[in-house]
Homo-oligomer: A and B are copies of this chain.
Amino acid sequence: MAISARPDTVGQGQLLRLLRDEGPRSRAELGELAGMARSKLEAELVRLKQVGLVQEGGKAASRGGRRSTLVELSSFLHFGGIDLGATSIRVAIMGAELQVEAHVAEPMEIRRGPEQVLARAGELIEKLARDRGVQLTGIGVGVPGPVRFLDGMPVSPPIMPGWHEYPVRDLLARRFGCPVLVDNDVNVMAVGEHWGGVAKSVDNYLFVKIGTGIGCGIMIRGQVYRGIDGCAGDIGHINVDPDGPVCACGNSGCLEAMFGGAALVRDALAAARSGASPPLAERLAGKQAITPEDVGQCAAEGDPVAIGLIRNGGRRVGLVLAGLVSFFNPSMIVIGGGLAGLGHLLLAEIRGVVYRRSLPLATGNLPIVLSELGPSAGAVGAAVMISDHVFSIP
């Protein structure tokens, strides 16, 4: 059988991902890593060079004999990552091996609607690309709401008025002339943390984002699980108190209505105004606003009201996660998003509740840890997602 007769797109994708994740390699190393015979490897590399995806690199370190030439991903490959948050835009441009080449973030309210937000995100990434003189090979996008992954449109996203069924993917694909994928922000964060963060070796895990809202990325057997309608992981709207405050989704007592950036600021403002917390009142008087960071700082300085707000929030998140641990039995939980900055106090409370409230078998070896990539998890994950996609169709 002539091995080189037909291109093996699965094998090509595997080679491209290997070069992305392991860096430049000699043909001998590549063949070994991919479990691919030399003749077949050479045939696929020829094809990948023809379409401009790989190139010959420098020389490998000497092994005694003649030094072999390394194969590497083309230096023309550049991926864009756009992470749209409730109150921010963060964009990054990454090289073929997903090293960050340039990035920028700025405040932006997602509720200004898709035209304005996408125009600004497009400008930012276009400028980064132009400044470096590069063309984008693909763009990954994360948005803070449920997305129908197949057509890249948000669907009834509670905190994104005006975005329902807006063609985010097609609009950006037209503007940049390259493939674009759009997903829920927690899904891309889960991908990012799995690719290059604390969940690197972990194939079944939960990435819990606690930002303005609360969501959860689910990774099963190394792949994002999106559910039947693409809205799996929407844990911010799990009920934690039937008598709790009304949520943006219309129900009352949702986790997100009780904790998360928006709820924490609401409760901190109330504590400042009522005089219950003099340190919070002082900050409010100083700048006419309170942020989650202010609550964290007041807690660090020992203000019992601020400490209580964080502890109560952590307890509620912990109760929801304890239920999910009983249901899903993951091998790790990663906590990310803006409020992960509240650090140990929040984490300790979450851990305490989960370890106390789930079955021993499920928590015997369950690390609950902070995201390693922090604020860049989303943009990195979006780039991983789009590079996986581009590499699967060479």
Residues of B within 8 A of A323 (CB): 235, 238-239, 320, 323
Task: Say whether A361 faces chain B, with CB atoms less than 8 Å apart.
Answer: yes
Residue of B nearest to A251 (CB): B357
Q: How many of chain A's residues have a CB under 8 angstroms from any CB in B? A: 45
Task: Say whether A24 faces chain B, with CB atoms less than 8 Å apart.
Answer: no
Is there an interface contact between A239 and B362, defined as CB atoms closer than 8 Å? no
Q: Could you say which of B226, B238, B327, B362 contacts A229, with CB atoms under 8 Å apart?
A: B362
Known: A156-B359, A323-B320, A357-B251. A227 touches B204 (CB 8 A): yes
Which residues of A (140-170) have their CB < 8 Å from a CB of B? 146, 155-156, 158
What is the CA–CA distance of A229 and B327 in the complex, to the nearest angstrom? 12
What is the CA–CA distance of A176 and B345 in the complex, to the nearest angstrom? 56
CB of A199 to closest CB in B, whole Å: 13
Residue of B nearest to A148 (CB): B361
CB of A292 to closest CB in B, whole Å: 24
Is there an interface contact between A239 and B322, defined as CB atoms closer than 8 Å? yes
**A338-364, CB under 8 A of B: which get 1 and which 0?**
000000000000000000111111101
Q: Could you say which of B204, B218, B228, B326 contacts A234, with CB atoms under 8 Å apart?
A: B326
Residues of B within 8 A of A358 (CB): 237
Most buried by B among A216, A229, A319: A229
Residue of B nearest to A329 (CB): B227
Task: Say whether A108 faces chain B, with CB atoms less than 8 Å apart.
Answer: no
Residues of B within 8 A of A228 (CB): 204, 329-331
Task: Say whether A271 faces chain B, with CB atoms less than 8 Å apart.
Answer: no
Residue of B nearest to A362 (CB): B231
Task: Say whether A1 faces chain B, with CB atoms less than 8 Å apart.
Answer: yes
Q: Could you say which of B232, B328, B357 contacts A329, with CB atoms under 8 Å apart?
A: B232
Residues of B within 8 A of A158 (CB): 359
Residue of B nearest to A203 (CB): B228
CB of A2 to closest CB in B, whole Å: 11
Is there an interface contact between B319 and A229, defined as CB atoms closer than 8 Å? no
Is there an interface contact between B324 and A231, defined as CB atoms closer than 8 Å? no
Is there an interface contact between A362 and B331, defined as CB atoms closer than 8 Å? no
Residues of B within 8 A of A227 (CB): 204, 328-330, 362
Known: A238-B323, A239-B357, A357-B239. A329 touches B362 (CB 8 A): no
Task: Say whether A225 faces chain B, with CB atoms less than 8 Å apart.
Answer: yes
What is the CA–CA distance of A249 and B357 in the complex, to the nearest angstrom? 10
